[in-house]
Structures are given as C-alpha cells and as structure tokens.
Amino acid sequence: MVAGDWVDIQPIASLGATVQPRHLTPDIEWAITRVHPRTTKLSRPGHSRHGGERFEQCIVANVDLLAIVVSVAHPPFHPNLVDRFLVAAQRGEIEPIICLNKIDLLTRDAPRELKLIDHFGVDVIRYSALTGEHINELHQRTYTKTVAFVGHSGVGKSATINALFPELDLKVGTHRKGDRTGRHVTTRASLRRVDDQGTMLVDTPGIKSFAIWGIEPSELHWYFPEFDDYWPECRFNDCTHTHEVGCAVKEAVEQGGITRTRYDSYVRLYESMRERR
C-alpha cells in the first residue's frame, strides 16, 4: 500500500463480527480487511534488489492534483523532470499543475530553460514559500482536493506545504552553504488531512530522476494531445516523429501548428525512453 490508499479496518478482536470501530485508539490492534481500488495513481518502474524484472512502483494513489514543484534557482529548473511527471500524471489520470517556487530569487537573467515553463500546456502558479507572495493562489487551487507534491530535492515541497498550512509544521532543511539549495528532509510519502473540507496533502521525498512506467516509446505521442490532429497523416504507420520523411507532426511544427518547445520536449523524452530500453 502507498500514501493515498483507502482501506477498511477492524479491531483484531472483532474480526468476523459485525462491530464497526468509530475511533482509532492506540491500545487496540487493528487489521486491514479491505484495500479499495485506486481511482488515480502516480507510478514509476521499480527494480528488485537482485536484478530481476522491473515492476510497477506506485508512489501515491487516489490524488486529485499532482503539484509538480520546481524552483527559479537553487536548484535550477529542470524541464526534463517536468516532461516525465506530466506524462505519468496523464497515464495515472491525475490533473497536473506546475508550482514555480522561489520567485523571490527571480532576476532579469533568468535561465533560458525557465522560459519553457509556459509551454507545457498546464497551469503554472508562481509563488514564494519563503515570503508568502502569491501563496493564496496555490491555496485556492488545492482547497478541498487531495494533492501530491513532487519534485527534486531542495525545490521547497515541505516549505510550500508549511506556507499553505503552517499548523502542520513539517520539518524543512536548511540551505546548503553557498548555494541556497534546501537539504533533503522528507524520507517517505505521507498523507495528512489538513481541514474538515476534505483537503489532504501528500509530501513526497525529493528525487533525482523519474522514469515512466507502462508506456512504450511508440506510444508516447498519445500523451501529447497537440499531436492528435497530425500524426494519423504521417507517411509511415510506425513514424516516431523524430527523423522520418513525410512526418505530419514535424511539418506541423515547421508551420506553427505545434510549438517548437513542446515538440522538443517530446523528442527529448522519446530519446531518453529509447536509451533506457
């Protein structure tokens, strides 16, 4: 089971009876009697310690919103990771948003990659967990929802949750000397109910890389909706949309029907998936 799974429980002493517990108490042993089916999930490939076949590793389940936290700087914005999270969110039927933290560090000389953030086709919320600037916009978006916060170590996932709900007082790492990068403190995903309106948050450990589970490279174009009007017209049925002559997707990019940044995201992700095979 993972954070977000819904289960039925009963006191061990009442198994087989019709007694239904009303409150959890520490002096009673409880047993899980049923795990409910998942409605949404975020998964990646898992690997056995003994080098066996890969398996599906579910990170969180039954969340409404995937908040992909990135930062202006320290650590810098990584579009490759966003590519992967967006595809995995679609496959797991989770609505994604991009949370751009640390706007207090934004300068005129912003990294070139940061200019790509508005071309992913999802909502972007810009805020500072440190100063509280625009944090209300993120609060409104997460209200009454079950939200999982994901991203690299140091981008401020726990700090963001603390800014939204200070009463949670999650442990937040101090910045490393000289680079203002937050230290990794969250060690496992945990689900917290934060109000009586149904708002629940999942804080997840920071990650260095994220691979996609259950999608073949040849299926990747299905997860780029802006390709849908074009790829059926490609010259070859098995067109990869990367190098082929007569590729309708490439022609649409040249003619402005598909943005260059989104196409570059597709190619970048396609090539990385081929390398992992």
How crowded is residue 216: how many other Cβ atoms within 10 Å of its Cβ? 9
The pLDDT assigned to 124 comes to: 95
pLDDT at 114 over 50: yes
- Find out whether 55 and 43 touch, Cβ atoms under 8 Å: no
pLDDT at 177 over 60: no
Residues β-bridged to residue 215:
none
- Find out whether 145 and 199 touch, Cβ atoms under 8 Å: yes
- Find out whether 248 and 234 touch, Cβ atoms under 8 Å: yes
User: For residue 273, which of 208, 209, 212 has the smallest C-alpha distance?
Assistant: 212
Higher pLDDT, 17 or 11: 11
pLDDT at 178 over 80: no
Assigned token pair, 254: 């040249």
**Can you tell me the mean pLDDT for 26-53?**
82
- What's the length of the chain? 277
pLDDT, averaged across the chain:
86
Read off φ and ψ for residue 20, nearest 5 degrees. -115, 120
- The 3 state secondary structure assigned to the chain is CCECCCEEEEEHHHCCCCCCCCCCCCCCCEEEEEECCCCCEEEEEECCCCCCCCEEEEEEECCCEEEEEEECCCCCCCHHHHHHHHHHHHHCCCEEEEEEECHHHCCCCCCHHHHHHHHCCCCEEECCCCCCCCHHHHHHHHCCCEEEEECCCCCCHHHHHHHHCHHHCCCCCCECCCCCCECCCCCCCEEEECCCCCCEEEECCCCCCCCCCCCCHHHHHHHCHHHCCCHHHCCCCCCCCCCCCCCHHHHHHHHCCCCHHHHHHHHHHHHHHHHHC
Q: Which domains are seen in the chain, by residue range?
A: 1-37 (no CATH), 41-49+56-203 (3.40.50.300), 217-276 (1.10.40.50)
**Can you tell me the mean pLDDT for 241-256?**
96
**Can you tell me the mean pLDDT for 233-254?**
96
- Find out whether 56 and 215 touch, Cβ atoms under 8 Å: no
Tell me the one-letter amino acid at 88: A
> Which pLDDT tens digit goes with each residue over 128-176?
999 999 999 999 999 999 999 999 989 999 899 999 999 887 766 554 4
Quote the pTM value: 0.84
- Find out whether 198 and 144 touch, Cβ atoms under 8 Å: yes
Residue at token pair 């207090």: 104
214 Cβ neighbours under 8 A, 6+ residues apart: 43, 56, 91
